[in-house]
Amino acid sequence: MSDRENDFSQGIIPGNIMKLALPMTAAQLVNVLYSVVDRIYLGHLPDSDHLALTGIGVAMPIITILMGFANLCGTGGAPLCSISRGEGDDGEAERILGNSFTLLLILGVLSTAFFLVFKRPILYLFGASDATFPYADGYMTIYLCGTLFVMISLGMNPFINAQGFGRTGMMTVLLGAAANIVLDPILIFGFHMGVQGAALATIVSQGLSAVWVLAFLVGKKAILRLKLPCLRLEIGRVKRIVALGLSGFFVNLTNSLVQVVCNATLQAYGGDPYVGVMTIINSLREVFIMPVHGLTNGSQPVEGYNYGARKYQRVRESIRFSVGITVVYSALFWAVAMAFPGLLIRIFNDSPDIIAIGVPALRIYFGMFLFMSLQLAGQGVFTGLGRSKQAVFFSLLRKAIINAPLTVLLPLWGMGTTGVFVAEAVSQLVGGLACFITMYFTVYRPLGRLADGEPPEG
């Protein structure tokens, strides 16, 4: 029954997408609360000024890398599951699910051990000062102990959504976020644990989410289940998962790279207050970009299923719908960011120095946000259809090839700290246009020619 209900080759495309996208968007927004609520509380922590918030900002590149490993398995395996389902091969889809889970566990253990051993030199490399290191170290030591919880909840939840159970996937995030919101003030202020309390609240909450995900994927309601024989790694299948998942991984890896370069450059040219401002801006970006992620992630199972079923006209309709909604939403957010930058910054910290630095920085940083959303939409299409090479290339282009070098060069050319924020705006414009135009000419238009040969529906 569930399989027939989640047959994306039937029904209207907007309905199929929104059935997944709405709960996934809500889940993505709530998921951001794991880190953003921490930063809001820590930004107002007594006697720390902006140092606790800045310390968390220094630790964020490590967290971003860990999430990248989760994306490697989730965004690599889930679209392949959708394509296999569309082809009618549920057995292969379950083997992809099992291999993705095993790979996730291996990467989780290895990355935890690596960062626990080398966290001190890494945190200083990532922009910590003697004043902010104790906050960054305190947070990361506890957070790393719960890495597997984080990776399971983030990396396996896409396999629930790929089967069409958007509400169940939403509950994965809502369960953890509700626990995090409750635990944060208790541990941070009630037990006077500060940054350690924020980290503990996060890993306990993610642990609850991980249990929920695993309970569903081994339960009777799932179409595709985690089964012991499917956990054994098969090299060809792992290569396909990794090849496609590198797109999501490089998104996180290049985000981490840019965070490191930004923090180090801002520390050199402006000091801790500028690193604090970047932490606030990154937090706002995470919140406001999540609906775009939710929409593109909601579109991918529909696109992949119909692509596997050779329903090319429905794939094109899915692309048009998701891009249109993305553009409208992004324009609305851009208007809010340009009109009320001070109000947005005060959510995290109301220091006059932070406000004075943050308002012009925020306006520059988000000046080309609309074009960045076009990149996410285009890259989501590449990933949903299994086009791993294009997805990986555009993941690298904007951040590693454009943004990171400009972040170093523009301050050297006399722009100082302003150059760091200008570099982001330039990368949004160039990277976004390049990705979207390429998607249009290499995917959307060729699908139109294939669609001309389709028999009419019904």
How do residues 112-123 score in pLDDT, each as one tens digit? 999 999 999 999
What pLDDT does residue 32 have? 67
What pLDDT does residue 300 have? 86
What pLDDT does residue 3 have? 47
290 or 280: which leads in pLDDT: 280
The reported pTM is 0.74
pLDDT of 188 strictly over 70: yes
Encode pLDDT of 342-383 as tens digits: 999 998 888 888 999 999 999 999 999 999 889 988 988 998
Encode pLDDT of 134-143 as tens digits: 999 999 999 9
Domain coordinates of the chain in residue numbers?
A: 15-449
Encode pLDDT of 312-344 as tens digits: 999 999 999 989 998 898 999 899 999 999 999
Q: What is the 3-state secondary structure (H, E, C) of the chain?
A: CHHHHCCCCCCCHHHHHHHHHHHHHHHHHHHHHHHHHHHHHHHCCCCCCCHHHHHHHHHHHHHHHHHHHHHHHHHHHHHHHHHHHHCCCHHHHHHHHHHHHHHHHHHHHHHHHHHHHHHHHHHHHCCCCCCCHHHHHHHHHHHHHCHHHHHHHHHHHHHHHHCCCHHHHHHHHHHHHHHHHHHHHHHHHHCCCHHHHHHHHHHHHHHHHHHHHHHHHCCCCCCCCCCHHHHCCCHHHHHHHHHHHHHHHHHHHHHHHHHHHHHHHHHHHCCHHHHHHHHHHHHHHHHHHHHHHHHHHHHHHHHHHHHHCCCHHHHHHHHHHHHHHHHHHHHHHHHHHHHCHHHHHHCCCCCHHHHHHHHHHHHHHCCCHHHHHHHHHHHHHHHHCCCHHHHHHHHHHHHHHHHHHHHHHHHHHHHHHHHHHHHHHHHHHHHHHHHHHHHHHHHHHHHHHHHCCCCCCC
1 or 301: which leads in pLDDT: 301
Encode pLDDT of 54-100 as tens digits: 888 888 889 889 988 998 999 899 989 988 988 889 999 999 999 99
